[in-house]
Amino acid sequence: MPFDIVLPLVVCIATMVTIWLHPKIQSRIKLLFREDQELRVRDAFLLVVTMGIMITVVVFIPQQAIQILFLAAYSFLLFLFTYIAVEKWYLAVVPPVAFLALYSSSFWNVVVLDFFALVFAVCISVYLSGLFSWKTVIAFAALITVMDVIQVMGTGYMGEAAGKFVELRLPVFVQVPLFPIQHEEFTSILLGLGDIFLSGLLAIQTTQKFGRKAGFICAASIGLAFAVFEVAFFYSSFAAYFPATLVVVCGWLLGLGMYNLVRRVRSSEPL
């Protein structure tokens, strides 16, 4: 049966990069937040509700307003992330200036878009992970999956918002070619940054609780889940859009199960 390896590899590698990068700048990230500043389950609920409202708002506001707001927010966050990493403002200015220059030029293409989208997704996962505990990340994953299902399959607003972002060529998704799969209706596939963010966030929290090996196993299993899902997606009667957070969560749970199984088998081996 034909299958695709590009998207699963992109998700897996991006998730592994977040695991590798997080401890390298963890001490600097802590400077952003107070030691007691941590999201509670109620805060996670409000965050998910806010995200759902923002998706709905995007559907009804003009494209030019979306473009201006996103470019301003992305540039500011890119500057902030870089400044925290290098601690020199004149170096932190370079990435947002380069982003705006490329976006407004003829050099802006799918490859450049994917690069900035993945950089943003990884940075968000790494920098915001400090706000989550094991309890809140589980609650957040469950809540954002429910919201995703409602906005994709219920209201349909997720698909409409995605269509606007695609028309504006904004880096809020990654677009990768399908390989080696050959499908008459599809040559590439889109994945929103929220799904990559969730994957990275879950992997970081898993690493902090069970160790780096568990985190990498979860990253690999999430990639595997996307590989399996794509086969089902392209050769069944799914709609054009699907809540990929379901795939992320299923892959993460599979990874946790695999890690615990391996640990139990090893612990039962005779010395």
Token code pair at residue 221: 């299993």
Number of domains comprising the chain: 1
CA distances 145 to 16, 48, 58, 198, 210, Å, are: 22, 9, 19, 10, 23
> Does 210 reside within a domain?
yes
> Does 149 reside within a domain?
yes
> Does 1 reside within a domain?
no
Long-range CB contacts for residues 108-113, cutoff 8 Å, separation at least 24: 108/169, 110/175, 113/169, 113/171, 113/174, 113/175
> Does 249 reside within a domain?
yes
> Does 143 reside within a domain?
yes
pLDDT band for position 135 (50/70/90)? Answer: very high
Q: pTM for the whole thing? A: 0.91
| Beta strand ranges found along the chain (DSSP E) | 173-177, 188-192
pLDDT band for position 235 (50/70/90)? Answer: confident
> Does 192 reside within a domain?
yes
Is 90 exceeded by the pLDDT of residue 184?
no
**Residue 30's CB: how many other CB atoms inside 10 A?**
12
Candidate from 50-54, 93-97, 206-210, 267-271 with smallest mean pLDDT: 267-271
- Sole residue written with tokens 């209201």: 155
Express each pLDDT in 160-180 by its tens digit: 998 899 899 999 999 998 888
> Does 108 reside within a domain?
yes
> Does 150 reside within a domain?
yes
Q: How many helices (H) and strands (E) does the chain have?
A: 11, 2
The range of the structural domain enclosing residue 261 comes to: 6-268
